[in-house]
């Protein structure tokens, strides 16, 4: 969703605009927050931080300021800042200090701009293809390969036996591989 699309929707109905923004960027925000808090936060902490991010986005979005093009960068920056603040808060509460080794994943990569752009494009294509799998397969793939959840955990969340989750994930990966091949990408083992 671009800034101009959001403005038009917001002018018609602020609630509908907020719902659309939430639906489109929930997974993006969750992944940013999860990656920063997974070492010190519980699931409730992560969910609270995601809620705080969307509250901050809705409160800080000023219709008169221009966010060039896509809102993704604006939302990503807020998500990153909120997650880092919560990381420090949780670490202090737990009597733990953050070492540079733990923060390494949060530092900008040394890769070239072209490599980062290519990875970003591949990520967007991958997410689009995963969403095209439909439910519950897309949820299973995200939880299994992005959040490293075991089939039993996924099964409990989706009210399915672990064996069913494994079989459906396997079939979903075959479909995903075919979809990515149609887009010109090859899905390699361990690279999802």
Tens of pLDDT along 70-107? 678 888 888 888 888 888 888 777 665 444 344 444 44
pTM of the model: 0.48
Question: What domains lie within the chain, and their CATH numbers?
Answer: 3-106 (1.10.1740.10), 113-183 (1.10.10.10)
Mean pLDDT score of the chain = 77
Q: Read off the tokens for 147.
A: 């959040």
Pseudo-torsion of CA 70, 25, 79, 32, nearest 10°? -110
DSSP-assigned letter for residue 2:
B
Q: Is the pLDDT of residue 123 over 70?
A: yes
């Amino acid at each position: 969703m671009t800034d101009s699309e959001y403005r038009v929707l917001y002018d018609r109905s602020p609630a509908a605009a907020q719902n659309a923004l939430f639906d489109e960027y929930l997974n993006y925000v969750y992944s940013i927050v999860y990656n920063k808090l997974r070492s010190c936060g519980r699931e409730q902490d992560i969910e609270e931080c995601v809620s705080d991010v969307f509250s901050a986005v809705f409160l800080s979005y000023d219709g008169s300021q221009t966010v060039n093009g896509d809102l993704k960068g604006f939302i990503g920056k807020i998500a990153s800042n909120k997650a880092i603040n919560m990381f420090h808060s949780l670490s202090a509460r737990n009597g733990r200090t953050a070492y540079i080794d733990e923060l390494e994943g949060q530092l900008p990569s040394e890769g070239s701009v072209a490599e980062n752009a290519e990875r970003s494009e591949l990520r967007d294509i991958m997410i689009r293809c995963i969403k095209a799998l439909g439910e519950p397969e897309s949820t299973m793939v995200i939880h299994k390969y992005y959040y490293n959840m075991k089939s039993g955990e996924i099964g409990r969340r989706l009210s399915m036996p672990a064996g069913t989750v494994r079989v459906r994930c396997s079939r979903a990966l075959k479909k995903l591989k075919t979809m990515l091949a149609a887009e010109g990408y090859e899905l390699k083992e361990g690279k999802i």
